[in-house]
Structure 1
Amino acid sequence: MSLFSLEGRVALVTGAGRGIGRGIAEKFGANGAKVVCAARTRSQLDDAVAIIESGGSEALAVEIDVSDLESINAGVQTAIDQFGQIDVLVNNAGMNVREPMMEATEEHYDQIMAVNLKGLYFLSQAVAKRMISRQQGKIINIGSLTTSTTLNQVSVYTATKGAVGQLTKAQALELGQYNIQANAICPGFVVTPLTEKIWSDSTMRNWGEGNIPLGRLATPEDMVGTAVFLAAPASDYVTGQIIYVDGGFMAGNFWPLPSATSK
């Protein structure tokens, strides 16, 4: 098997109907994996499944609400019934509500925690039980820049993504004995259907591009190469890592260049 081939592997990707999750699901299929595309609303998945199948791989659309344990367990069982195994789990489902800390509501707090942290925790647990029986597996958690820093007015989201980083390390520590690797991808500023309104604002776009050493915002396609690496044999000795795919943003390009007159 090629270092980057996913032939013979079954991958479950949450939030696979759009954005980063869809990009990862489609690329996994192109690299030979059978892909279980999961989302809270099944109709979101039809296009992704069709593209994967048109490329010659098998795909299955499964409705999973990651905030609900019954839905998690039912979805995992559906995937097992169809394909017999799950080799790769991508915890991509997430949500955010932008609001000042002093205005955050209990309802929003509970919703964000349930999707971003509780859902990731218990879906990983459900899938890892199947991986343990086969003594192999890959868990890929989708973090954020806020896994290690923060941004204004996303305090609850930041708390969940910081926890994702620590949970990834805990998974690596406890599951390594079963030949299961756990890693996190932390995307930078990605233009998706959910964020394109933000980045269509010229002030925001200029700020973002001006602080990214590579000089541009990311697309979902910029994330898929790292995901393939972490799902493939090439990463069999990589675990517990937090990988920033951010165009260099976290390198700290925040100090303005001096003007010619100040040199």
Structure 2
Amino acid sequence: MDQLARRFESDRPHLRAVAQRMLGSAAEADDAVQEAWLRLSRSDTSDVGNLTGWLTTVVSRVCLDMLRSRASRREEDAELPETAAPDDAHPEHEALVADSIGPALLVVLDTLAPGERLAFVLHDMFAVPFPEIAEIVGCSPAAARQLASRARRKVQGRGANSGSDRTRTRTVVEAFLAASRGGDFAALLALLDPDVVLHADDAAVRTGATAVLRGASAVAETFSGRAQGAKLAFLDGTAGLLWAPGGTPRVAFAFTVAADGRITGIELIADAADLAAMDVQRVP
């Protein structure tokens, strides 16, 4: 148990960051992380290969339940007279959360449905692949992608810096494509976050892709001198790449770009149903 506790403490900062962005409340985030510890202490995790991923899933499910409960209370209280904030609120803690996420984004996140918020936070902020998000929400990967897509459109439509974010992402993806085609390994490394993760869906793996790649060197080596047939496209409103020989989409490359302009996640989507569900806008 002591060893498990030490391992949990090493993951606590990551789990708290996930919960804070999911809930927008430092106090509720602490509650969610504590609940994750309780579930861990009662579970047999001897067969769990990726404990951090397991804990992230647990915290996400706890947060989803809390968001749904919050939404239900809002509906019940909609017709009640406005009341003062509860005595146990911690404004200074909430200010810290707003600073870590961004006040404008925090306001927009509060307008999202629970599933939309979870999908957006996990995928766009933490590069969690859609199959894993689908298991948490209880839907198909295509439906999880649509949840994130709807959330992203709301964020882009109401966020103060949405235009600059969209332009920045396109610029990064175009630079990545040029470096990949030109075999410029150094340029690829400069564009990739050191901890970048590439996920390929089952359909892409069957064509020879590696299911998971971690680290800038491994991802840069995979793409260096490649992507000759890929072209820029907007995938669910976000700049990405599309390989469509003969005009038929075969593989989509979805990117997660951090605020510093470096790529933190890449998804290879080759599943026909997921591609069909995706809003694809090709760039001439």
- Regarding TM over 0.5, the answer is no
TM-score, with length taken from structure 2: 0.25
TM-score, with length taken from structure 1: 0.27
Q: Which has the larger radius of gyration?
A: 2
Q: Which has the higher contact order (CA 8 A, sep 6+)?
A: 1
